[in-house]
A and B are shown apart, each in its own frame.
Chain A
Amino acid sequence: MSTTTHIGLVLLLLGLALWITVARNSFAAVAGFIAYGLLLTLAWLALSAIDVALTEAAIGAGLTGALLIGAASRLRDVEASAWAERPGATTRALAALISTVAAAGVAVCILKLPDPGPTLAPEAARHLAATGVGNPITAVLMSFRAMDTLLEATVLLIGLIGVWSLAPDRVWGGRPGLTPKTDPNGALAYLARVLPPIGIVIGIYIFWVGADHPGGKFQGSTVLAAMGLLVMMSGLRDVPAVRSRWLRAALIAGPATFIAVGAAGAFTSGAFLAYPEDFAKPFIVVIEAALLPSLAVTLVLLLSGPPRRPEPFP
């Protein structure tokens, strides 16, 4: 991309960010946020971060956008009246001053970055062969910094427990969301029958190709989650009750496998999350394959929110 494209991209990003901040209508601000997320994907591409661009398009713009649109449509009636609680001119001026100072601080740091920038890329390239994967980012996620990825998978689970714990007592263990309305001949139901087979293949492909090319389990699981959400929104299948045993097993299978392989490493290779030499790739594949469905189910449930419908005991 040329410099002109970059400047245009930055101007569009900042324009949309301004719109998100000052727009009166919250629904319009959320719509702006989705467009902004997709443009941000281009910014990651301009910075040669293709794996990050995929994640941003799938999770940052896609899932976060869906989450916020859902919330904005439920709050549509009360959002307008809350505008009256806007702070006065003095507070706004003070906020503008603080924000400008913060932005200037970040800008100074950016301009004062050392040149050439410090990098771990040669280090990663040197040890890439030992991991058996060809994509350096997958090597970092699954081998060099596997602890971060384990903690991340755990954070998602804890986030889900936090969301579930917001359920009122009488619906605990029930199903998230409202009873879906089904129109078996509608366009949504048609798409929900046609798209998932294609989406599942694409999701698994993105996951599998992530070993050597941009892609991976997070991006793949988001595509799988989107397919699941499509089926549930169309009403062809209901969201499972959070009490369900198989659902809980599916949620913890990925992180549990990760911890088990990590603990095995403590005995075979002398360190937690270390892989035995020459067998790194199979272990990474086992962990990633176990994480893929768990992450997809976690993402679907995070988006579905806390239980809202009581589920009778069987």
Chain B
Amino acid sequence: MTATTLFGLCAAALVGLGLYGLIVNPQPLRKILSFNLMGNGIFLVAAVIARRGAAAGMGGDPVPQALLITAIVVAFAASALAVALMLRLFEETGACSLSTKSDPASAPAPAEGGEA
């Protein structure tokens, strides 16, 4: 098996694992992690395509490689925004849950209008 096929299959597995984690894990932090895993899988596909395009004395096609650099930086910006949203949710509700069920045991929301 060539290196590109091997890393390509690894990319497919990363996409699958990331998607599973995104659906199953209830915590927003874990969803951000899983989303990054999925993104990395896609990046790896792009890197494999770049490597298969090696020509003209270059180790890979420079166009997808340059797009990958852009993608990694943009993924960081998106993660930073997601983390900021998550921490604001935590500051507002004292919990970090995306559950819509108003279960007072699992989601102790301090600003619920029911008291007094």
A: residues with CB less than 8 A from B are: 1, 3, 6-7, 10, 13-14, 17-18, 20-22, 26, 29-30, 33, 40, 43-44, 46-52, 55-56, 59-60, 63-64, 67-68, 70-72, 74-75, 78-79, 81-87, 91-92, 95-96, 98-100, 102-107, 109-111, 113, 115-122, 124-125, 136-137, 139-141, 144-145, 148-149, 152, 155-156, 159-160, 162-163, 166, 216, 218, 299, 302-303, 305-306
CA–CA, A160 to B74, complex, Å? 12
Cross-chain contact A104 with B65 (CB below 8 angstroms)? no
Q: How large is the interface on B (under 10, 10 to 19, 20 to 34, 35 or more residues)?
A: 35 or more
Measured CB to CB, the closest approach of chain B to A61, in angstroms, equals 10
A-B contact pairs, 18 of them (CB 8 A): A17-B18, A21-B20, A29-B30, A40-B44, A47-B7, A49-B50, A51-B69, A75-B86, A85-B97, A85-B106, A102-B16, A106-B12, A113-B48, A113-B52, A117-B61, A121-B60, A121-B62, A145-B67
Tell which of B40, B80, B95 touches A159, judged by Cβ atoms closer than 8 Å. B80
B99 within 8 A of A: yes
- On chain A, the residues within 8 Å of B15 by CB distance are 102-103, 106
Interface residues of B in 28-57 (CB under 8 A from A): 29-30, 32-34, 36-37, 40-41, 43-45, 47-57
B59 partner residues in chain A, CB cutoff 8 A: 48-50
Chain A residues closer than 8 Å to B6, beta-carbon distance: 3, 6-7, 10
A63 with B21, Cβ < 8 A, contacts A144-B63, A145-B63 known? no
Partner of A156, one of B4, B13, B73: B73
Smallest CB–CB gap between B53 and chain A, Å? 3
Ranked nearest first, the 10 interchain pairs of A and B with the lowest CB-CB distance are A103-B16, A48-B59, A119-B53, A117-B52, A110-B8, A159-B77, A140-B66, A106-B12, A107-B12, A136-B62
- 11 new A-B contacts, CB < 8 A, other than A60-B72, A75-B90, A121-B53, are A17-B14, A43-B7, A47-B7, A64-B36, A70-B83, A81-B95, A85-B99, A87-B26, A117-B53, A155-B77, A163-B84
Instruction: Count chain B CB atoms within 10 A of each CB in A46, A63, A118, A137 and give the residue with the most.
Output: A137
Bound CA span A24–B107, Å: 19
Interface residues of B, Cβ cutoff 8 Å to A = 1, 3-21, 23-27, 29-30, 32-34, 36-37, 40-41, 43-45, 47-63, 65-70, 72-81, 83-88, 90, 94-97, 99, 106
Given A81-B106, A145-B66, is A26 in contact with B75 using a C-beta cutoff of 8 Å?
Answer: no
Q: Give Cα distance in the complex from A156 to B73, angstroms.
A: 8
A276 to B111, CA, bound (A): 61
- Residues of chain A lying within 8 A (CB to CB) of residue B53: 117-121
User: Is B61 in contact with A121, judged by CB distance below 8 angstroms?
Assistant: yes
List B contacts of A85 (CB < 8 A): 26, 97, 99, 106
Contact B23 A95, beta carbon cutoff 8 Å? yes
Question: B16–A10 contact, CB under 8 A?
Answer: no
The smallest C-beta distance from A29 to any residue of chain B, in angstroms, reads 6
